[in-house]
Structure 1
C-alpha cells in the first residue's frame, strides 16, 4: 500500500521530470512479483495518479505521447492476471472524475480513452483474440465494459458511452488490420483510373474479410447490442444501433449479411416512425 501511495504522489506531481520518472518506475513495478498482490482499490489509486499525470500534461504533442504511453501499459506491461483489474480501475476513475473535467482538458481525456481502448484491443489480439485457452481475456474485457462505462447505469456520465459508440469500431479496425497498412498505403497512392486500382481494392476487401473471420467481433460488440435494447435513454439506444450495430463496416467484414442489415435498418425506420407518430399531437 505504501508503494502504491508513493507512486500516486509522484505520478500526480506538477513537475514533468518527476511524472516521467514515476511512470517508468511504475512500468517496472507492474512487471514485478510484488504487483501480483494489487487489489482493485490499489489499481484505482494508481490510475488516480495516472489521471492527474494527464491532467498536468500540457501541449498537444506531449499529451499524445503520454496518452500513447499510458495506453501501452495494457498492451506491453500488464499480465493476463492484471489486465481486467487494471482496465476496471481505469474505467472507475474516469467515471468518477469525468464531471470535474473542464472544457480545456476534455479533449486529452477523450484521446486517453481512445488509446486505452486501442491497446486493450492489442492485448486481446496478442492473446489470440480470446480464442480457445485465451478466452478469459475476451470474457473479462467484455465483463468490465458491461459493469462500467457500458453498463447503462444512470450514474455513468452520458458522454462516456456516447464516446465509446463513436470510437469503438474505429479503434478495433486499426488493431484488426494493422498488418494491412502497407497495402492501404499502396491504394492511397493510386489514382482511381489506374489499372491496378480495382484489383488492389478487391484484395484489401478480401484480406479484411479473412482477418475478420478470426476476430470475435460479435462478442466484442455484445455490450452495444444489449444497450440497444435495454438502455434507459432513447439517445443511447439509438447511438448503439446507428453508430455501432448498423455500421457498414460490419457488412464489409462479413459479420452482418446484407439481408440482415437491411432488416435491421427497416426495423429502426419503423420504430422511429412509430415513435414520431406517438409524439405527434393531433388535437382533442
Structure 2
C-alpha cells in the first residue's frame, strides 16, 4: 500500500512523462503482478494498478496508456497458464479505468481520441506482433466493462420497486448512454473487423461484440436487420436510378 501511494504521488506530478520511462515503470509493475501469488493480493494489485489511470495528468494519459499496452503485448507470450488468469484480470481492470478516466473528464474529445488511437496503434492494430489472446480478451470484456462503467453509481436493487423509482433508474441509464460516445469507442473494433488478416479474429469481433444485444439496445451498433434493410434500400435506389436513365433508341 505504501509503495502504491508513493507511486501515485509520483505520477500526479504535472510534468511530462517520457515514453521510455513510462515503459520501464510498466515493466516493473508487470513483474509486481507476476510475483503476486495469492488471489486476494492479486485482485487488490490489479485494482490498484488499474486506478493509476484515474490520477494521471491529462497530458500524460496517452503515453501511460500506450506504455501499458506496449509492455503487456511484448510480455504476453511469456505468461504461463498458471499466471494467465491474474493478467487477464489486470487487463480488465486497466481497460475499465482507462475508459473511466474519459468519463471522469466528461468524455473530453482529445482524451477519447488519444485512447482510441492507442487501441488502434497497439492491441487492436492487427499486427502479427500482437498475440491473438489480447484482442480476443478485449472483445470478450469490452461490452461488460462499458456496461459496468455506464451504470456505475446507478443503484438497482433486487426486488419490487415502485414505478416511480424504476422510471428514475431508467432515466439515469438513458442519460448515461446518451452522454457516452459509444459509437466512437467501438470504431477501432469495427475497423479491425475489416482489416484483420486472421479470419477467426474478424468473426469474433462481428459475432461476440458487434452483435452484442446491449450495444444494439444502446444504439452503439446497428442490428443485422437494420444493416440488411439499409443494404436493400441502397440496392432498390440503385435499381430505380438505373430504370430512370435514358439509354438511347433501340
Q: TM-score range by the shorter chain?
A: 0.7 to 0.9
Shift of 1:250: 1.5
Q: Please give the alpha-carbon distance, in whole angstroms, between the structure 2 residues aligned to 1:236 and 1:91.
A: 19
Q: Secondary structure at the match of 1:178?
A: coil
Listed one character per residue, the Cα deviations across residues 233-266 of structure 1 (whole Å, up to 9, x for unaligned) are: 1111111112211110022223346xx4424489
Listed one character per residue, the Cα deviations across residues 156-195 of structure 1 (whole Å, up to 9, x for unaligned) are: 0000000000001111111111121x2x22xx2x1xxx5x
Q: Which residue of 2 aligns with 1:26?
A: 7
Shift of 1:46: 0.3
Q: Which residue of 2 aligns with 1:6?
A: none
Q: Which residue of 2 aligns with 1:58?
A: 37
Unaligned runs of 5+ in 1: 1-19, 268-284
Q: Which residue of 2 aligns with 1:102?
A: 80
Q: Is the 8 A contact 1:145 1:223 kept in 2?
A: yes
Structure of greater relative contact order (alpha carbons < 8 Å, 6+ residues apart): 2
Q: Please give the alpha-carbon distance, in whole angstroms, between the structure 1 residues aligned to 2:62 and 2:171.
A: 33
How many residues align? The count is 230
* Aligned match for 1:143, one of 113, 117, 139: 117
1:78 and 2:56 equivalent?
A: yes
Q: Which residue of 2 aligns with 1:168?
A: 142
Q: Is the 8 A contact 2:53 2:98 kept in 1?
A: yes
1:223 and 2:188 equivalent?
A: yes
* Aligned match for 1:246, one of 192, 197, 211: 211
* Aligned match for 1:209, one of 162, 169, 174: 174
Moved more, 137-146 or 170-179: 170-179
Q: TM-score, normalised by structure 2?
A: 0.85
Q: Which residue of 2 aligns with 1:262?
A: 225
Q: Please give the alpha-carbon distance, in whole angstroms, between the structure 1 residues aligned to 2:113 and 2:103.
A: 13
Q: Please give the alpha-carbon distance, in whole angstroms, between the structure 1 residues aligned to 2:34 and 2:187.
A: 32
Q: Secondary structure at the match of 1:103?
A: coil
Q: Please give the alpha-carbon distance, in whole angstroms, between the structure 1 residues aligned to 2:13 and 2:168.
A: 44
Structure 1 pair 179–158 and aligned structure 2 pair: CA distance change class (3 A): same
Moved more, 93-102 or 209-218: 209-218
Q: Please give the alpha-carbon distance, in whole angstroms, between the structure 2 residues aligned to 1:210 and 1:262.
A: 26
Q: Please give the alpha-carbon distance, in whole angstroms, between the structure 2 residues aligned to 1:202 and 1:27.
A: 40
Structure 1 pair 252–263 and aligned structure 2 pair: CA distance change class (3 A): closer
Q: In proportion to residue count, which structure has more helix?
A: 1
Q: TM-score, normalised by structure 1?
A: 0.75
State the superposition RMSD in angstroms: 2.1
Q: Please give the alpha-carbon distance, in whole angstroms, between the structure 2 residues aligned to 1:64 and 1:217.
A: 28
Write the mapping of 1:105-120 to structure 2, written as runs, cut at 5 A: 105-120=83-98
Write the mapping of 1:167-186 to structure 2, written as runs, cut at 5 A: 167-180=141-154, 182=155, 184-185=156-157
